[in-house]
Chain A
Amino acid sequence: DAKTTQPPSMDCAEGRAANLPCNHSTISGNEYVYWYRQIHSQGPQYIIHGLKNNETNEMASLIITEDRKSSTLILPHATLRDTAVYYCIVSPRNTNAGKSTFGDGTTLTVKP
């Protein structure tokens, strides 16, 4: 699996958009970008995934650059409950969803 690079920590004001970057410069053509988050003392929670097109769901938006070497997770209106560790993962297509390689993630702190 391709490795990812994320900033160790970020702050965001409540109600503002949180933009979390992820670099995956060695991503292969058949690898998806997945985002998970882990709130303290809980298991990771799936947020969103994409291959090359931008994606949006009820939780967030995922913007993937045209060369697919980086992506940004956008939480449009961050709340205090969005404070968590956010993990960016890339993983091959033709495997089951296991063997995801989690890095150390970005600790997002949403402040009032």
Chain B
Amino acid sequence: DAGVTQSPTHLIKTRGQQVTLRCSPKSGHDTVSWYQQALGQGPQFIFQYYEEEERQRGNFPDRFSGHQFPNYSSELNVNALLLGDSALYLCASSSGTGGDYRTEQFFGPGTRLTVL
């Protein structure tokens, strides 16, 4: 089991550009969540995808969008990049149907995005 994988590992963009980050969940998981982690801070929740739909969203602008594919993999898109978007972007997968139970999340190694 490869666990949660993310690509690319590192990325450098300039202000105003657009970026797409990719995530493959752990085998057997159907839910993907994305987090932004600025240097020295804890991860901040961006949004979560389940059944190819955005189910929950944190306090992030519409410049941040996503997609989930039938194979449960996911993409995070950020438009009109700002310097403040420089961060580690983490993907986490879990299994659940929103029912009356909780499961832990498994995180990927992250994508380090630098905006110049």
Contacts and interface: CB of A to CB of B under 8 A. Distances in A.
Interface stretch (A10-18, A61-69, A88-96): A88-96
Contacts of A44: 43, 90, 92, 105, 107
B105 to A, nearest CB: 5
A102 B37 CA distance: 10
Interface in B76-116: 90, 92, 94, 96-110
A99 B58 contact: yes
B100 A34 contact: no
Contacts of B109: 42-43
Contacts of A32: 102
Q: Main SS of the interface on chain B?
A: loop
Interface residues of A, number: 24
Given A49-B104, A96-B94, A99-B56, A43 B45 contact: no
A97 B100 contact: no
Contacts of B24: none
Interface string A20-32: 0000000000001
A99 B33 CA distance: 8
B58 A104 contact: no
Interface residues of B, number: 33
Q: Main SS of the interface on chain A?
A: loop
B73 interface: no
Contacts of A104: 40-42
A98 B66 CA distance: 15
Given A43-B108, A43-B110, A100 B45 contact: yes
B4 interface: yes
A46 B94 CA distance: 11
Given A49-B102, A102-B43, 4 more contacts: A93-B100, A96-B94, A98-B55, A102-B35
Ordered nearest first, which 5 A-B pairs have the shortest CB separation? Answer: A43-B107, A102-B42, A98-B48, A98-B33, A46-B104
Interface of A: 32, 34, 42-46, 49, 85, 87, 91, 93-105
